[in-house]
Structure 1
Amino acid sequence: MMALGDKDAPLAAGGPGRHVPVLLTEVLKWLDPQPGEIIVDGTFGAGGYSRAILERGATVLGVDRDPDAIAGGQDLVKESGGRLVLVPGRFADLDVHARDNGFDGVDGVVLDLGVSSMQLDEADRGFSFMRDGPLDMRMEQAGPSAADVVNELPVRDMIRIIGLLGEEKRATTVAHAIDAARKEKPFSRTLELAGLIEKVLGRSPRKAQIHPATRTFQALRIYVNGELHQAAEALGAAERILRPGGRLVLVSFHSLEDRIVKRFFQDRTRTRGGGSRHMPEEEVPPATFELLTRKAVEAAMDETDANPRARSAKLRAGRRTQAAARDLDIHAAGVPHLAEFHGLGG
């Protein structure tokens, strides 16, 4: 096993202490990278998973849609001695990226479906309701921004976005408040929007630590980046590129993501169809995965104490069978129907 840099340094590209990879021990357990294997890290971020995989002797194809992540990972590329290839792009296309780089099959895929802590920590990226910055939230730094959404989408569409993607029970109240405010002055800053939401919803004494804007900001981020659609497509891409015996490991951070992962594995590991004495059992295609984790794996208390981001993390993993990959219905997997919106699209 080749050591990359100081063995006592944090396993993260981009500088010590900048990013702590969530559930790293558990990811390595279920991904089980071996010397000579090819592993896709579909959410390279600060490189925490990739560095640990490289130290196990595997070759890594790192994919990230954020140009800053690709630029920040170049030092790790140099350290890797040719065993890390970094590709700018979306993890929904990870099978295409793999083949374009000469990998017709891979031995493992790992995806961290949450927003990067680097993005949250940098006010200029506009992801955080705790730091003032432009209301942006674009991972690829291109296309419509969160400001475009809150300033241009019809109210009925904002209600659905905030309600479905943010799971905000008072989505109608928030959307109408945004609509009234934007008629006076368009939103351009994160704290402008966060302050309005806090004023409208107030703070619950029972949930004093949870900012009232949390769910709305989550909804906007997911919508702007098409995160749920991308996550579902990435599962299909992983199924297509994994060799028999290859491992798929996913870490999610909220119920919408975890629901998609759970439904995918339920469908892909099913070996029997429903039936009764009145109805014949339905024919089920061969299972494309076998479960490695019977239920979601969560972070231990020592990790959640050290890294609050780990508190909501859930890991699920499966091993690829020899069955042929199948078509994927992303809406059956749990992605909400948003394509009929009249504004910026879903």
Structure 2
Amino acid sequence: MLLDVQQLSVDIPTAQGVLHAVQGISFSVDNGETLCIVGESGCGKSLTALALMNLLPRRAIRTAGRLAFSGTELQALSAAAMNKLRGENMAMIFQEPMTSLNPVFTIGDQMTDVLRQHRRVSQREARERAIYLLTRVGIGKAETRLGQYPHQLSGGLRQRVMIAMALMCDPKLIIADEPTTALDVTVQAELLRLLLSLQEEFGMGLLLITHDLGIVSRMADNVAVMYAGQIVESGPVISIFENPLHPYTQGLMACLPTPERKRMQHLRAIPGTVPALVGQLSGCRFRGRCPYAQPICAEDVALRPYAHDHAYRCVLPPDISLANAAVTLETNP
């Protein structure tokens, strides 16, 4: 197993109390596998990625029962050992390339510096590697681009540079945090195809964070649906899309525009708001918005297995959940 995460939590002290941003989540990623973590903004997806890379805000507190990469416990690593692991074996594509790329250094300086930090190579070798990867990610005139600054590139080109930079040391795992945000649909599709082809070429594990279920359907092998800091449903992508069991997952599916739904009909919206995650938390986090909430939902709900590695965090039995999903999708086209 490439990445094994068990009971990962991230707490952030605030003036109002402790913010429980991520609450005991567990998942794994194998070589060559794509796991998509999906959920609305603020559910804890990006903090999960930052926790894996040990790049959390200074006040954030990370705890986990197990946080292992290729059998190495990340929590036991010194700062120097973690710095060596980052970039060399684990790399991250950040959400906004303009703020991730340093505006005062050229693309070439930033890319070659990544490789020379981790490998004993000459400047010429690092430059040749950078040119190869820029070309591989679809950037023309790569040698000329190395002398340019981030502001001289479009959003799509900057994102391609981020992908190439992440690949400089042939990492085993890529963490991509909403890599297509703010890009037009055509560029999004190109970048997604690029990520898939690069994953196949280099045999990497891919942890893809997104709120776009369309991307999930095209990219994922397995899916983890997050809501209010918890994983509420997880399993193979086909099982999740064909048999969504948690009411939140069902709501997300009902929001999707599909060819079967009649033109000009309104898409469904999930009513209510996400609960505050500050202070003492209990019960199902979704119960305030759930049409099937029961008194028992005020008690803590554990993930329950369904079939073929499919699990969901709900008191409803699978047959009732599936019936609810059918009604939801039928009555809310």
Q: What TM-score, normalized to structure 1?
A: 0.27
Name the structure with the higher strand share. Answer: 2
Higher RCO structure (Cα 8 Å, ≥6 apart): 2
